[in-house]
Chain A
Amino acid sequence: MSQRRIVVSDSVPRFPRHVQFRFDETRGRWIVLAPERVLFPDEIAVAILQRCDGAATVREIASALAREFRAPVDTVRDDVIDMLQTLADKGVIAT
């Protein structure tokens, strides 16, 4: 049996092969397509997901976002981890 994946600062988040993150022209917004599920991430979530390229760590993603949004890096990192853990539990993000 597989184990729950816990997202930490060193995790390298990515989309599994069967999940698509793309811009939907009809609705004019970013979407996540997963098995029997469509997610409509908000602006902040899109900024995070656009950096989930299978190379950057959570720490690096948080640093970049903290600079971009001029926010405290610890707070940003906690928010990033929270969001990615929720998505990992849904099978939408792999680490």
Chain B
Amino acid sequence: MSAVGAPLALLAELTHRCPLQCPYCSNPLELARASDELPTAAWQSVFEQAAAMGILQVHLSGGEPTGRKDLDVLIAHAASQGLYTNLITSGAMIDQARMESMAAAGLHHVQLSFQDHEAGNADRIGGLRGGHERKRAAARHVRRAGLPLTLNTVVHRQNLAGLEPLIELALALGAERLEIAHVQYHGWALCNRKALMPTRAQLERANATVTAARERLRGVLAIDYVVPDYYARRPKACMGGWGRRFLTVTPAGRVLPCHAAETIPGMQFESVKERPLAAIWAQSEAFQRFRGTGWMPEPCRSCEQREIDWGGCRCQTLALTGDAAATDPACELSPYHRRLVAIAETESVAEPPAFVYRRHGNTPGEGGKAGLC
């Protein structure tokens, strides 16, 4: 086996519980129950192992990570190991005291999600009445605690019209960074694709808005922008390449190369309950399966871009072609690419269906919801 470098970052999905129900949630359709969640000591061990194997940053995420009562203890433990700690939160459960105690525990940075720039549409998308106002308050708490703030918004056909005021909102709330990410379509987002897919014209307007804002706000607000795949010509380097830079630990302790990897059937993901993190990273079958370029089919294997995009997204490829090892249809060299573009062009102009909100009991195929997706 070729030597594998150390990963840069760990995405710690502490829980799948969340007060929001965003229809593009990156959590799996089968949400973990509270009773499945790793206990405090197990997460502490994960952070110790992560630091020892050279991981530099830990993203505390979920679900809603502040749903964990032991979050301060986990932050303090991660920080004590030298890990850079980033909280990825909806902000809906954070008051000033909670924010101050997380800062005191050693939290380095907060990434706060917004669903739109104004409460009406934002609360409709997030499925939590009053959520937007609570998020605005959370942003103030972050600033008062003296921590740097990134706003993050997933954009789609039902909120792209508000992109410019969203940038203004980030400035008004004192954020240093803004992440604008188009939806990546697997799991809940794939199920809601018809309700989310933007038109090509919407995308082009968004691209122009971001380009202009980056220029205008240089040194004031850094804007990270994740473009969508369906209108792309080449795939993105999903996760910086499978098993190259990132790993995810799920609420129940399974270790994944990407947070959506469990959608790929037939793969066995090992657990921190059974094997050391470093061994899973270096040796487990799941991490080796799509690592590097050896697994690639043609035309990927001989493509000049193979170590730039690392073959794109395996989960999306599976969802669209039925074969996780095929060429990513986002690439114009894929035989499925034209179908992908046709899907986007057709769905984006049709009347959007109602959202299938992300919550227990709404899972497609369960409780009478079959056929929605």
B86 neighbours in A (Cβ, 8 Å): 35-36
B108 on the interface (CB 8 Å rule)?
yes
Interface residues in B115-159 by Cβ distance below 8 A to A read: 146-148, 150
Given contacts A27-B54, A33-B84, are A18 and B109 in contact (CB under 8 A)? Answer: yes
CA distance A20 to B56 in the complex (A): 11
Tell me whether B222 and A36 are in contact (CB under 8 A).
no
Tell me whether B219 and A4 are in contact (CB under 8 A).
yes
A47 on the interface (CB 8 Å rule)?
no
A33 neighbours in B (Cβ, 8 Å): 56-57, 84, 108
Residue of A2, A17, A24, A36 touching B150 (CB-CB under 8 A): A36
Tell me whether B57 and A89 are in contact (CB under 8 A).
no
B160 neighbours in A (Cβ, 8 Å): none
Residue of A24, A26, A35 touching B176 (CB-CB under 8 A): A35
Tell me whether B84 and A26 are in contact (CB under 8 A).
no
Given contacts A33-B56, A35-B109, A36-B57, are A89 and B6 in contact (CB under 8 A)? Answer: no
Interface residues in A70-94 by Cβ distance below 8 A to B read: 88-91
Residue of A20, A27, A38, A91 touching B222 (CB-CB under 8 A): A91
A17 neighbours in B (Cβ, 8 Å): 146
Tell me whether B219 and A35 are in contact (CB under 8 A).
no
Over the window 159-196 of chain B, the binary record of Cβ atoms lying under 8 Å from chain A Cβ atoms (1 yes, 0 no) is 00000000000010010110000000000000000000
CA distance A2 to B174 in the complex (A): 8
Total A residues in contact with B, Cβ cutoff 8 Å: 21
B69 on the interface (CB 8 Å rule)?
no
A24 neighbours in B (Cβ, 8 Å): 54, 56
Interface residues in B83-116 by Cβ distance below 8 A to A read: 84, 86, 108-109, 111
B308 on the interface (CB 8 Å rule)?
no
- A/B pair count, beta carbons within 8 Å: 58
Chain B: interface residue count, which band?
Answer: 20 to 34
B218 on the interface (CB 8 Å rule)?
yes
Q: How far is the CB of B83 from chain A (nearest CB, A)?
A: 9
CA distance A16 to B148 in the complex (A): 10
B239 on the interface (CB 8 Å rule)?
no
Q: Which of A4, A26, A36 has the most CB of B within 10 A?
A: A36
A1 neighbours in B (Cβ, 8 Å): 171, 220
CA distance A18 to B86 in the complex (A): 11
A31 on the interface (CB 8 Å rule)?
yes
Tell me whether A35 and B54 are in contact (CB under 8 A).
no
A88 neighbours in B (Cβ, 8 Å): 219
Residue of B8, B146, B150 touching A35 (CB-CB under 8 A): B150
Instruction: Select from chain B the residue with minimum beta-carbon distance to A26.
Output: B54
A2 neighbours in B (Cβ, 8 Å): 174, 220
Tell me whether B177 and A38 are in contact (CB under 8 A).
no
B53 on the interface (CB 8 Å rule)?
yes
Q: How far is the CB of B249 from chain A (nearest CB, A)?
A: 18
Tell me whether B8 and A18 are in contact (CB under 8 A).
no
Tell me whether A35 and B53 are in contact (CB under 8 A).
no
A5 neighbours in B (Cβ, 8 Å): 219
Q: How far is the CB of A4 from chain B (nearest CB, A)?
A: 3
CA distance A31 to B222 in the complex (A): 20
CA distance A36 to B152 in the complex (A): 12
Instruction: Select from chain A the residue with minimum beta-carbon distance to B6.
Output: A26
Tell me whether A26 and B53 are in contact (CB under 8 A).
yes
Q: How far is the CB of B8 from chain A (nearest CB, A)?
A: 5
B147 neighbours in A (Cβ, 8 Å): 18
Q: How far is the CB of A11 from chain B (nearest CB, A)?
A: 13
B109 neighbours in A (Cβ, 8 Å): 18, 35-36
Among all A-B residue pairs, the 6 with the closest Cβ atoms = A4-B219, A26-B54, A35-B109, A33-B84, A89-B219, A18-B148
